[in-house]
Chains A and B, each alone.
Chain A
């Protein structure tokens, strides 16, 4: 099954028949069932699976980080100690020295009121006696190892003085402080931009190669798996369905679910899509000319300029992909078009209305021609109304329909259009899965047959296989109804599936714009090049080659 281990390899973790169940209000939930796994020293084991598959619970069991409602069965041998039977004191001695954890969100994993040096030394103090000078020396050493420049000065900085990627490096440094046998990385790059993600993955790879640290990597991103993992375990509903080396898994997946998972991963294929006939000459729906959007500053300080002199147009039936990393201003532009954020300067014409200094009263008449799909399907529905009532809202507000009951025939039609069964209309939002909710959200946005749809990262909160279905549905609906779309995303592979044209934003300015084939196939701007090179592809061999290109762009 796996590559033959050499004699010097010994097991860092050996999990046998692990069972974990939780007591909840809805009865017991059996989160992990009969999981058997092992991780060797100097090996990266990736656990992949969709949300709720038990991958995080399995990994957290290794260092005993489960809530008190959990009940464990089976054995977890960490470097020769059975973790399941340890008491609190035993677990505390184990944490940090034998196993450490890297969390998903670096900005919440660090305490904002202490310097990073103090936080690095905290782990040392918990496991032995160090003088202040020794601890500081050690902390500086750790920071240097994870590639923080000027560690002698920056050891006294506070977390907010570092960028997101640097914070994640510091979290990794705290995990490394006591040279643990095993590091558990729970979605270590999910909260980070792609260009930063590539650097963090590079750092983790170096740790494995130089120190022989075993790493358990939990992720849902197959590109990350292809980039870093030696072996992969695929989890489905609390069970492991397949374990194989990364190369074997990607080239010849055995289990049905693994095949489905791999097929669902969007790949950069660089498609050339033509605008619908007649669209090129038609009057554009959105025209932005030197658009500037600012957030007011505090205490008479100048405001923060989120979008700086951006110009683009969206023609009827056109799908414009707005791509950029966090802080690039892409969501701000979408909100300005929907009238949620005021325009500071320049010109933004939406459906014939000038948005610079617009009054809500004047824009209200245009709102029936505008649909909006939000990023997080969990919060974009009123939790106390049923799906049918939520979808009926635009009909009640803009047409002569009086209440949700009268709108029901039309709502049923809409739910059918987004491939949801009619009975789902009577459910409450929390009773739907993420993908179903996002489809209902699409139904609500399309209720009034809008000319323009704004989709703000509509699939980034969804699992890959669900994302693929939602994107497919989106494309069908777009072809059927012919609405123009502003598709905001950070994922280049997703725009590649949908967009006619792409605008790449970098720090509030346009880095590059053009047709999808031109921008992705032949990028001119160095930032676009780096963005494309940072995107990990779900194929270990191809990814190794891409890594070399990426290293080349980094040195530019």
Chain B
């Protein structure tokens, strides 16, 4: 007993690296699931790098129309000066595609921060306290669900900024309209977890001890009900990009002079497609597809890995004596019991 105590206490605190949400799952994964997750991580990492280093990576500014030799000119084909040509408005396509990543990232961050905090708080209160407040909030969440999310986003964009605006008002308008669509998702996920956790013995034990309702809610219930959130966050991040692009495409986005935005560029390139000009439509389109694909792959990968029944494992191999000893250690068995 004493000997096994020593060996197991070393493993009580896993390294920080292993406990980080996505990295932990990456270590668990094998085979195709790992390949998909890695591909998603690479795509998303590339997207993040573009967004953060846009000012240094992009050859020109997002609203730059003239270089040292005067105006760029409209609809110029790819050339050494303009690697992907220029748009109908006379902007450099490559630069706007790179700067577009930054706008998309800003919108994702603002939208997720707003919706995660509000959604979790409402879900926690609604699920734990119950009663009429719970019923009202659930009905409202269901009503929002019933609207097509894009329609809702358009209404929100008009209400917030009148449809057109500069960088921050534009980003905020897009983010807030996305937030309205996302809050019900977080709300429902957290609420259902809270309702489940509420009946667990450790919550009752806190009640018997006499802990206050707020203490039970925030110390005991909240932290146990956020397990599936990383998954929804990644899936919602990809949905945020598509909603932002759709808003821009429909003309409710951000002015080209305020920031670069993929959806807006796509809209501007509609006329070019029939004229045989490929270089204005494909780069922003591919950027949207890859950014969404990367985040969706991460989200789906996490989803599969979070479920022990979907998770692929290496087949049990030939045993060595050391494995047999490890198998009889109590911690290993507890761990096995935990996943099953």
Contacts and interface: CB of A to CB of B under 8 A. Distances in A.
Contact of A52 (B12, B215, B333): B333
B339 A24 contact: yes
A427 B12 CA distance: 6
Contacts of A26: 331-332, 335-336
A24 B335 contact: yes
Interface in B305-338: 308, 311, 313-317, 319, 323-324, 326-328, 330-338
B201 A379 contact: yes
A379 B316 contact: no
B319 A30 contact: yes
A250 interface: no
Given A28-B327, A71-B315, A374 B336 contact: no
B206 interface: yes
A21 interface: yes
A454 to B, nearest CB: 8
Interface in A364-395: 364, 367-368, 370-372, 374-376, 379-385, 390, 393-394
Given A382-B220, A428-B12, A29 B327 contact: yes
Interface string B59-98: 0000000000000000000000000000000000000000
B7 interface: no
Given A22-B336, A29-B332, A423 B9 contact: yes
Contacts of A421: 5
A274 interface: no
A375 B336 CA distance: 22
A271 B303 CA distance: 57
B334 A431 contact: yes
A309 interface: no
A338 interface: yes
B207 interface: yes
A293 B27 CA distance: 52
B257 interface: no
A27 B332 contact: yes
Contacts of A397: 209-212, 215
B328 A69 contact: no
A444 B210 CA distance: 13
A382 B224 contact: yes
A340 B12 contact: no
B208 A338 contact: yes
B338 A430 contact: yes
Given A52-B333, A340-B208, A28 B200 contact: no
B202 A24 contact: no
Contact of B313 (A25, A30, A340): A25
B211 A27 contact: no
A207 interface: no
Interface string A1-33: 000000000000000000101111111111101
Contact of A28 (B208, B211, B215, B317): B317
A24 B313 contact: yes
A23 B328 contact: no
Which of A23, A24, A397, A431 has the most chain B CB atoms closer than 10 A to its own CB? A24
Which of B5, B209, B224, B335 has the most chain A CB atoms closer than 10 A to its own CB? B209
B201 A374 contact: yes
Nearest to B213: A360
B208 A433 contact: no
Nearest to A372: B208
Contacts of B200: 379
A238 interface: yes
Interface in B181-225: 200-202, 204-212, 215, 219-220, 223-224
Main secondary structure of the interface of B (DSSP, over half): helix
Given A22-B316, A27-B326, A382-B202, A394 B9 contact: no
B228 interface: no
A237 interface: yes
B330 A433 contact: yes
A382 B28 CA distance: 25
Interface in A320-340: 338-340
A416 B224 CA distance: 29
Which of A368, A370, A384 has the most chain B CB atoms closer than 10 A to its own CB? A384
A60 interface: no
A432 B8 CA distance: 10
A259 interface: no
Contact of B12 (A238, A339, A385, A426): A426
B264 to A, nearest CB: 45
B210 A398 contact: yes
Nearest to B305: A25
A257 B317 CA distance: 30
A70 interface: yes
Contacts of A69: 313, 315-316
B326 A23 contact: no
Which of B311, B314, B317, B324 has the most chain A CB atoms closer than 10 A to its own CB? B324
Nearest to A364: B210
A161 to B, nearest CB: 27
A380 B12 contact: no
B224 A28 contact: no
B194 to A, nearest CB: 14
Contacts of B207: 339-340
B306 to A, nearest CB: 12
A286 to B, nearest CB: 15
A381 B13 CA distance: 18
Given A25-B335, A382-B224, A70 B202 contact: no
Contacts of A371: 208
A270 B311 CA distance: 53
Which of A29, A52, A238 has the most chain B CB atoms closer than 10 A to its own CB? A29
A70 B316 contact: yes
B8 to A, nearest CB: 7
Contacts of B316: 21-23, 28, 69-71
B331 A431 contact: yes
A27 B202 contact: no
Given A23-B314, A393-B206, A30 B324 contact: yes
B8 A431 contact: yes
B204 A393 contact: no
B327 A31 contact: yes
Interface string A450-467: 000000000000000000
Contact of B202 (A33, A364, A380, A431): A380
A89 B323 CA distance: 33
Contacts of B339: 24-25
Interface string A59-71: 0000000000111
Interface string B128-147: 00000000000000000000
9 contacts: A24-B339, A376-B201, A381-B205, A382-B206, A393-B209, A394-B210, A423-B9, A427-B12, A432-B334
Interface of B: 5, 8-9, 12-13, 28, 200-202, 204-212, 215, 219-220, 223-224, 308, 311, 313-317, 319, 323-324, 326-328, 330-339
Given A24-B335, A52-B333, A374-B205, 19 more contacts: A19-B319, A27-B323, A31-B327, A338-B208, A340-B204, A367-B208, A367-B209, A368-B210, A374-B204, A379-B202, A382-B224, A383-B202, A384-B223, A390-B202, A397-B211, A397-B212, A421-B5, A433-B334, A444-B205
Interface of A: 19, 21-31, 33, 52, 69-71, 237-238, 338-340, 364, 367-368, 370-372, 374-376, 379-385, 390, 393-394, 397-398, 421, 423, 426-428, 430-433, 444
9 nearest interchain CB pairs? A367-B210, A380-B201, A26-B335, A30-B327, A71-B316, A372-B208, A379-B201, A23-B316, A23-B313
